[in-house]
Amino acid sequence: MDDTKQRELSHETEGIDWGGQVSRQTRLMVHKNSWSDALVKNAHDGLNLPSPDCDRCSVITGECLYYHYGCDGKDDRGWGCGYRTLQTIASWLCLQSISVSPRHPPNLSEIQHILVQIGDKPNSFLGSREWIGTVEAGLVLDQLYDVPCRIVHVRHGKELVQAVEDLHNHFCTHGSPVMMGGDRDNSSKGILGVCTGTKGSYLLVMDPHYFGCPLDKNSLQKHGWVSWKPVGSLDQCSFYNLCLPRTLRK
């Protein structure tokens, strides 16, 4: 079997029963970017600013896809959020003309194989339900796309205000989505932008924890899966890590 066929088969879905409705089996194919057709692109488009006083707003440049629990037929609830955020970042790299590699975003199995291959994880990691964090995401992005990542460590939520400037600079310089995770708040999330005004700063959060039938852009925004969140609303006692892919824009 050639590599193309193997990749196609590895992206077949399993079919999940979402509230009694069984999803049709689809494939995230490699050819002609058709792998991107089944997922919502730029789910944040059209979202209003969080506050009328925001006078500085920095967001991603280009397009990315909304990856979430079960979006490819794999039920990864409870452990797959880091993988999904990584896939969203990979989709951004694939969809930009500046991408070092046009390779499609890796599926969950491929991510695990890469981490084992480079020696970051033991063989027992393969096929497991172990989560990954920002460090692992950075390793995979570097391995697949030759994109170095900067890891910013925030000791506790109260210091996130100080990381806001890093995020503004990142989006203005590199334009790529950011992965965020922590310890007490260990739910991985994608950061697509940052907005600052007299009343404080807000993060544009893409939450990969949605599980269910596909939603359109408006529904994702309405139900808060893509939304602006005040920096102060995050866990003030949790540390946070930010993974910032450092691909320069043209």
H helical segments located in the chain? 3-10, 81-95, 108-117, 134-145, 160-173, 217-222
Which has the closest alpha carbon to 231: 170, 165, 151, 161? 161
Phi, psi of 82 (to 5 degrees): -65, -40
Count CB atoms within 10 A of the CB of residue 73. Answer: 17
Place of tokens 């995401």: 137
Spatial CA neighbour of 170 closest among 90, 91, 250, 244: 244
CB 241 within 8 A of CB 189: no
What region does 73 belong to: left with phi over 0, alpha with psi -120 to 50, or beta?
left
Q: What residue has token string 């393969």?
A: 126
Q: Which of 200, 155, 154, 198 has the alpha carbon at shortest distance from 178?
A: 154
Q: Catalytic amino acids? A: 81, 207, 209
CA distance 15 to 173: 40
202 vs 107: CA distance, rounded Å: 31
